[in-house]
Amino acid sequence: MRSLACAAVLLAAILSGCATQPTSSTGQTISQARAKVHTELAAQYYERAQLGIAMEELGKALKSEPDYAPAYNVRGLINMALREDRQAEEDFQRSLRLDSGDSDAHNNYGWFLCQRGKTQDSIKQFMTALKNPLYATPEKSYLNAGVCSAKGGNARDAEEFLQKALILRPNMPEALLELARLSFDSGDSAGAKSYFLRFVQNKDTPLSAESLWLAVRIERKMGDKNSEESYALQLRKRFPESRETQLLTQKP
């Protein structure tokens, strides 16, 4: 009961600003605890694409704790989404100066660099993220390293990274789809179909126009007319205005 009471007091102090204790039960100062709450709220708004509100929450976080590294990491993602590249890079770099061991920040900075065409620099960030034995989601960095290696034209490294992601999370849909794409591009249609079938077994993974178009092309190469038409029908029905649907009318 005492711990619950302390938690309630701490939450009230964070939300009202009327703190009576200098630190929380986790050893954080009240200002750090406030910064954490606002940064987590900002991350949730970012995921919902409510970028303006997310920025407001980060402003509150940094007002409470100007050197709170996670806030700069999240702000980097938001500025990246807003195409404010200079500010995004500054945010990621500041986050890492404040906490060089933050694997999530290294991963996010790597993804930013990848999306801006700096493939080799992005791979370095992913590998740095993976050096941390306490990194909770290393499969994300392996996945991103695979995607970015493929983007940079290095299919061999891409496959190696993606297979490592699957070792950590055997049915990771993003890795399976990327391996299906890599296999198809290399001429291994049977391998591509195998990976794609594993991908669609993830019931919670929605099919996109891009993934359905890949399936159509795989089945076309395999000579499976029924499966090809089934995927083509789904593509026409779900995404009638998409570029991929328009490609269906073109000769293979």
Domain boundary residue among 99, 129, 160? 99
Question: Total structural domains in the chain?
Answer: 2
CATH number at residue 230: 1.25.40.10
The range of the structural domain enclosing residue 203 comes to 171-252
Q: Tens digit of pLDDT per residue, the chain (252 long)?
A: 433 333 333 333 333 333 434 544 456 789 899 999 999 999 999 999 999 999 999 999 999 999 999 999 999 999 999 999 999 999 999 999 999 999 999 999 999 999 999 999 999 999 999 999 999 999 999 999 999 999 999 999 999 999 999 999 999 999 999 999 999 999 999 999 999 999 999 877 889 999 999 999 999 999 999 999 999 999 999 999 999 999 997 755
Quote the pTM value: 0.84
DSSP assignments along 75-103, one per residue: HHHHHHHTT-HHHHHHHHHHHHHH-TT-H
Structural domain includes residue 143: no
In a domain, 194, yes or no: yes
Q: Are residues 177 and 196 in contact, defined by beta-carbon separation less than 8 angstroms?
A: yes
Query: Quick check: is 161 in a domain?
Result: no
Show which of 57, 75, 99 is a domain's final residue. Answer: 99
Alpha-carbon distance of 225 to 219, in angstroms, equals 7
Confirm whether 129 is domain-assigned: no
The three-class DSSP label of residue 236 is: helix
